[in-house]
Amino acid sequence: QVRLEESGGGSVEAGGSLRLSCAASGHTSSIYAVGWFRQPPGKERESVAAISWMGSRKYYSEFAKGRFAISRDNAGNTLYLDMNNLQPEDTGVYYCAANERGSDYLNPSNYDYWGRGTQVTVSS
């Protein structure tokens, strides 16, 4: 019922910046929050940041605080993740996800819809 599509991934050098986008479509009126998650090579998917659909609340994992910024384009159904001072440890597949449950915004288990992901690679 909700479709998500990420874009903006790529390869950057350590210290560089990158902006990821997530286009949401379908029954977006049912969304309480949208989050960004990532899956490093060989590791489990982990939370990055989340934002309430109306944009009033933002949440960040500890590693993302001060470096990443989540935002929503209020003119449409697009979510962004601005990543700064990227490090090799940030390498992974980044996913956009939608939460209809209205709680635990940084818990990937509570998200109902997922995009296909976009690859981010950070070199030393």
The CA R_g of the chain, rounded to the nearest whole Å, is: 13
Angstrom distance (rounded) from CA 28 to CA 46: 23
Angstrom distance (rounded) from CA 87 to CA 11: 11
Q: Residue 15 is encoded by which pair of tokens?
A: 């210290």
pLDDT per residue as tens digits for the range 2-58: 999 999 999 999 999 999 999 999 988 888 899 999 999 999 999 999 998 777 899
DSSP, collapsed to helix, strand or coil, labels residue 63 as: helix
pLDDT per residue as tens digits for the range 59-90: 999 999 999 999 998 767 899 999 999 999 99
